[in-house]
């Protein structure tokens, strides 16, 4: 079955440093989503990428979808303490209505 | 919009007891998902409903787990009998599946502790 690997599992950064999390799928995806879960909270949808090579930005967050549609990344520029949380990717295969979530990357920002 | 509503928010029960978790999806959404989250296994999909019909329950751990969706505004996840290894946070999420948009809205979750 489809597998979605996400690295790293944890990332400690000093406030102001950049952060990147990577997501790799064993199969070609029709689209990929990113979610953020604050400590003690629930996953919240951030964005969906559909097109090969697509790049989307939300303020300090940059999301990329690989050319082969098998990998994706989330990059945060100049992290802030409000960025703390776990970032999940969720991959969807063509024709499937069931996502496969990565294990998530927990971001810890030190002030 | 109140978002996805789950109850109870916390549940502590003894092994062997029946546990029922409840979910009210966002009005107008046609898909509902139940997830379980633990440190060891991450976020696992348990069951997926579309238009109130269970489409995929391959993630349901065993016969002790059952889920129903009697109408578009209500779903339950039941564990009977409960075991300590069922301790986890259970999320319900709803979605309006249209074309290429599969955005999921998660509820606040139910933190279940089985002693």
Question: Per residue in B43-102, pLDDT tens?
Answer: 999 999 999 999 999 999 889 999 999 999 999 999 999 999 999 999 999 999 777 678
**Residue B52 CB contacts under 8 Å (≥ 6 apart), including other chains:** B69, B70, B71, B72
When pLDDT is averaged across residues A55-61 and rounded to a whole number, the result is 98
| DSSP state, residue B101 | B
Instruction: Find residues 18-37 of chain A whose CB sits inside 8 Å of chain B.
Output: 30-31, 33, 35
Residue A26 CA to residue B91 CA, distance in Å, equals 26
**Residue B97 CB contacts under 8 Å (≥ 6 apart), including other chains:** A97, B30, B31, B50
B12 close contact with A: CB closer than 8 A:
no
Instruction: Find residues 32-91 of chain A whose CB sits inside 8 Å of chain B.
Output: 33, 35, 41-45, 48, 50, 88, 90
- Each as own residue / partner, the long-range contacts of residues B5-10 (CB below 8 Å, 24 or more positions apart, any chain) are B5/B107, B6/B90, B6/B91, B6/B92, B6/B107, B6/B108, B6/B109, B6/B110, B7/B110, B8/B110, B9/B108, B9/B109, B9/B110, B9/B111, B10/B110, B10/B111, B10/B113
- pLDDT over 80 at A53, yes or no: yes
When pLDDT is averaged across residues A3-21 and rounded to a whole number, the result is 96
| Six-digit token string for A1 | 């079955």
pLDDT of A87 = 98
Q: What share of chain B is helix, strand, coil (3-state, %, to 5)?
A: 5, 55, 40
Q: Report the percentage of chain A scoring pLDDT > 90.
A: 90
- Whether residue B60 contacts residue B67, with contact meaning beta carbons closer than 8 Å, is answered with yes
- pLDDT over 90 at A3, yes or no: no
pLDDT of A78 = 98
pLDDT of B66 = 97
Residue A43 to residue B100, Cβ atoms within 8 A:
no
B49 close contact with A: CB closer than 8 A:
no
pLDDT of B1 = 64
- Whether residue A101 contacts residue A36, with contact meaning beta carbons closer than 8 Å, is answered with no
Give the burial class of B58: count Cβ atoms within 10 A of its Cβ; 0-12 exposed, 13-18 middle, 19 or more buried: exposed
């Amino acid at each position: 079955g489809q597998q979605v690997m996400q690295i790293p599992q944890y990332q400690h950064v000093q406030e102001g440093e950049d952060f990147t999390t990577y997501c790799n799928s064993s199969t070609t995806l029709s689209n990929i989503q990113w979610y953020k879960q604050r400590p003690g909270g629930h996953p919240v949808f951030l964005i969906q990428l559909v097109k090969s090579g697509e790049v989307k930005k939300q303020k300090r967050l940059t999301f990329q979808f690989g050319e082969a549609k098998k990998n994706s990344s989330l990059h945060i520029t100049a992290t802030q303490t409000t960025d703390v949380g776990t970032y999940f990717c969720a991959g969807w295969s063509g024709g499937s209505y069931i996502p496969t979530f990565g294990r998530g990357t927990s971001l810890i920002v030190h002030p | 919009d109140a978002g996805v509503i789950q109850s109870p928010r916390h549940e502590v029960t003894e092994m062997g007891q029946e546990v029922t978790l409840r979910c009210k999806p966002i009005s107008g959404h046609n898909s509902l998902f139940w997830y379980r989250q633990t440190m060891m296994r991450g976020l696992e999909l348990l069951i997926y409903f579309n238009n109130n019909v269970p489409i995929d329950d391959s993630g349901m751990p065993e016969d002790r787990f059952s889920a129903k969706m009697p109408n578009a505004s209500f779903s339950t996840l039941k564990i009977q009998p409960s075991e300590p290894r069922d301790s986890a946070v259970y999320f319900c999420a709803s979605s309006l599946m249209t074309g290429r948009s599969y955005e999921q809205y998660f509820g606040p979750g139910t933190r279940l502790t089985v002693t």
